[in-house]
Amino acid sequence: MIDVRSDTVTRPTPAMLAAMMAAQVGDDVYGEDENVNALQHAAATAFGMEAALFCPSGTMTNQIAIKLHTQPGDEVICDELAHTYLYEGGGIAFHSGASVRTLRGPGGRFTAEQVRDNVNRRDDSHLPWTRLVAVENTVNKGGGGCWDLAQLQRIRAVCDEQGLALHLDGARLYNALVARGETPAQYGAVFHTISICLSKGLGAPTGSLLLGSREHIARAHRLRKLMGGGMRQAGYLAAAGLYALNHHVARLSEDHAKARQVAAELPALPYVKDVLPVETNILIFHLDDGVQPDRYLRYLQARGVRAGTMGKQTIRFVFHLDVGADQVGELIGAIRQFH
């Protein structure tokens, strides 16, 4: 099967598996796993941040970060497409007791001016205190689009002016860095905390990193324990993460090229209403109103393609290292022949 439901479906390559098998492990709850320590150190160094914490999932790193920056009754500003808001089980309410002010920007990207306009006054006791701005890059539901670094820097300036924290859900940040020719350190300089996922396009089986100041990460360590995320011989997973950071970053551009190649076919297909601009490995398009998404997905499945929906009439293909060049050709053959 050609599985483009998500870039989370990848399996470790033989070389990644070999790196996992060779890992020397220890008990990470005691801080004794060499690979976990090396992974955390490598990531913190690359981003120019003081410390990092290895966690089981991106949901956990995001939710820990939100809890670090807020108190119950505070408010978080994010885009209406944000994963932290839509797809983390209501975790902002559950873990942090915070309310959310959603903004609407093209492709999930709002402006510094919108942030400034939506910060609540602190001298009015009716209002929740705005405490945190959360940004997502790339924006999953926005079709994998990338933020302009300059806009993020302007948002940071508003955060500094208003006394707000700034968190990045960088589940696919490396896709953005590769697409835009930017560096981790440029992002480390803008955000108070950053979550990056090793289990998406980077191809590790599981695991995410939260990056921040020494103080933030010390508190995050305690919150990870509280959420049941303290892992023991996690070095096997950390070894996969280290392998991913060392070998799977530059190749993300190949996934972006696959997404562009398939996207180029879509405007000519009679059943496609429109296509979101493609910048990275995510391709989102809308079906004409007369086409039932379930029928389309069943057709694709019968042609050996597993894809998913993302809202009304919305189809998402996500490209990753387990989709080969031949399979891109087969996928194109399948979508051309649907009627």
In the complex, the residues that contact ligand PLP under the rule CB under 6 A are 8, 57-59, 62, 83, 136, 140, 169, 171, 197, 199, 208
Query: How far apart (Å, rounded) are the C-alpha atoms in residues 339 and 336?
Result: 9
Question: Minimal distance in Å, beta carbon 155 to ligand PLP?
Answer: 18
Is residue 198 within 8 A of residue 225, CB to CB? The reply is: no
Residue among 77 and 334 whose Cβ is closer to ligand PLP: 77
Nearest-CB residue for ligand PLP: 58
Question: Minimal distance in Å, beta carbon 323 to ligand PLP?
Answer: 17
Question: Minimal distance in Å, beta carbon 132 to ligand PLP?
Answer: 16
Residue among 186 and 206 whose Cβ is closer to ligand PLP: 206
Q: Where are the beta strands (DSSP E) in 223-322?
A: 272-275, 282-287, 305-306, 308-309, 314-318
Question: Minimal distance in Å, beta carbon 135 to ligand PLP?
Answer: 11
Residue among 146 and 291 whose Cβ is closer to ligand PLP: 146
Question: Minimal distance in Å, beta carbon 10 to ligand PLP?
Answer: 13
Query: How far apart (Å, rounded) are the C-alpha atoms in residues 67 and 219?
Result: 10
Inter-CA distances, 172 with 93, 135, 142, 144, 147, Å: 24, 12, 12, 8, 12
Question: Minimal distance in Å, beta carbon 208 to ligand PLP?
Answer: 6
Residue among 49 and 78 whose Cβ is closer to ligand PLP: 78
Query: How far apart (Å, rounded) are the C-alpha atoms in residues 304 and 100?
Result: 40
Strands 314-318 and 282-287: antiparallel
Closest CA to 317 of 144, 165, 162: 144
Answer left, alpha or beta for residue 251, where phi above 0 means left and psi between -120 and 50 means alpha. Answer: alpha
Residue among 109 and 129 whose Cβ is closer to ligand PLP: 109
Residue among 129 and 172 whose Cβ is closer to ligand PLP: 172
Query: How far apart (Å, rounded) are the C-alpha atoms in residues 138 and 147?
Result: 7
